[in-house]
Amino acid sequence: MPIATTNPATGQVLKTYDPMSDEQVDAAIERADQAFRQLHGTTAAQRGQWLIRAADLLEAERDETARLMTTEMGKTYAAAKAEVTKCATACRFYAANAERMLADEPADAAAVKAKRAFVRYQPLGPVLAVMPWNFPLWQVMRFAAPALMAGNTGLLKHASNVPQTALYLEDLFRRAGFPEGAFTTLLVGSDAVDRILSDSRVRAATLTGSEGAGRSIAQSAGRELKKTVLELGGSDPFVVMPSADLDKAAEVATTARCQNNGQSCIAAKRFIVHTDVFDAFAEKFAARMSALRVGDPMDANTDVGPLATDRGRNEVHEQVRDAADNGATILCGGEKPAGDGWYYPPTVVTDLRPGMRMWSEEVFGPVAGLFRASSYEEAIEIANGTNFGLGSNAWTTDPAEQERFATDLDAGNVFINGMTTSYPELPFGGVKNSGYGRELSALGMREFCNTKTVWVGEGEAGPGAGAHSE
């Protein structure tokens, strides 16, 4: 894929970049390694000051930065502005909380025959971050803010269609005060990733992206025995039970499916509705989906902008056609519009069956699959019946049912009577083919730390002397 900004609203190529050479990449890795040593001599309070400055800059530059994202990948300007603000909030959160999250944790010294024993969290070194275009600022920030606060350095290989946002991020951290090399954007294609991971100075990697990219990076990192965190795709279930407030559920379902023009890993994608309320919900949901305004993402009245790439739009349309050609029913949408820009209408498809692509694949656009379940058990069976396990939603006012959903949904998160989202305070990640490891919260920060056990004695033989010593 060329490294270029192409406006999805017009299809026009606005800016292209030559990929960096191997020599340029090697020099950037060296700078990241040097910066890591420099950060070693800084306190969390100092790094926090830089992160707060980054938050100030983000807030001051919100509108221009949002415009850049909208131009590069098509999200609505309003959503882009909210994304910038969310990044600033995360910077402030980690600046305020990192010291507490990374504080030494005392252990029971007597139990391990020590004078003193504790766990210390220390940074690993340069971390490679391979990131997607769908939240071009937020996906990077939720790695970078905790990683930099912990004292790691970052090497960003961003998606090839958002090079300007990628360069903005490097510039942001530099202007905020982080040392040269602490955060570097590598303008390279995905074919450069394996070589970067084989460099001994690069200590770990994180990828947010598709299952295929996850497998590829996990293989390279496995060969090099390097830690990875993988945030991959999802086909989140949104279960509606008879006790739910159907109007509210239909309203949130529409946002949950069409936020970010339908291109979110944690968008609700499969709507599993109890048969007692199926028809009522389907009618309300299809009406709301049809009423969304599709158009210019810079227009404040637009709900859904274009998809980020023409290839992505074709893929979504082929998934819908595959369902329709095999007997599914399209309740609204489903037609690819003519004209400029990679627009796709909000679409609801029902009567899906196993074997259809929409039954098992992730649909990365504003297209909802609607499933009927005759019982709680069947709803859970459909909800868990994919290889993904990222987010999940359940709508019920019955407390006992809420408890059951919290336990039975096989996913990295369960949101009940609300839309799945991410917060700096809560861990974020998936199970099954949605990946492993966690981002955000203290858990996310510690993913790229050495969890070091420190045992301090009086000078006598160690705790395992004469017994099991491994």
Interface contacts to ligand NAP, rule CB under 6 A: 1, 130-134, 139, 157-160, 189-190, 193, 208-210, 213, 216-217, 231-234, 265, 362, 364, 390, 430, 435
Catalytic, 449? Answer: no
Beta carbons within 10 angstroms of residue 172's beta carbon:
24
Q: How far is the CB of 382 from ligand NAP (least distance, A)?
A: 20
Residue closer to ligand NAP by CB (options 151, 412) is: 412
Nearest by Cα to 382 from 168, 202, 235: 235
Q: C-alpha angle with apex 129: 225 to 38, nearest 5 degrees?
A: 85
Nearest by Cα to 308 from 187, 159, 170, 434: 159
Question: What is the dihedral angle through the alpha carbons of 91, 97, 102, 106, rounded to the nearest 10 degrees?
Answer: -170
What distance in Å separates the CA atoms of residue 283 and residue 134, rounded to the nearest whole number? 30
Question: CB nearest ligand NAP: which residue?
Answer: 209
Strand order in the sheet with 153-157: 183-185, 153-157, 126-130, 204-208, 227-231, 435-436
Buried b (16+ CB within 10 A) or exposed e, 191-209: ebbeebbebebbbbbbbbb
What distance in Å separates the CA atoms of residue 304 and residue 297, rounded to the nearest whole number? 7
Residue closer to ligand NAP by CB (options 284, 313) is: 313
Catalytic, 265? Answer: yes
Residue closer to ligand NAP by CB (options 13, 291) is: 13
Give the three-state DSSP class for 56: helix
List 87, 258, 265, 332, catalytic entry: 265
| Residue 189, token pair as written in the block | 């294609």
Q: How far is the CB of 374 from ligand NAP (least distance, A)?
A: 30
Residue closer to ligand NAP by CB (options 352, 440) is: 440
Residues present in the chain in total: 470
- Partner residues linked to 395 by β-bridges: 240
Q: Taking the chain, what is the end-to-end CA distance rounded to the nearest angstrom?
A: 49
Q: How far is the CB of 322 from ligand NAP (least distance, A)?
A: 18
Residue closer to ligand NAP by CB (options 181, 444) is: 444
List 231, 361, 401, 447, catalytic entry: 231
Q: How far is the CB of 188 from ligand NAP (least distance, A)?
A: 8
Residue closer to ligand NAP by CB (options 3, 176) is: 3
Q: Which residues are catalytic?
A: 231, 265
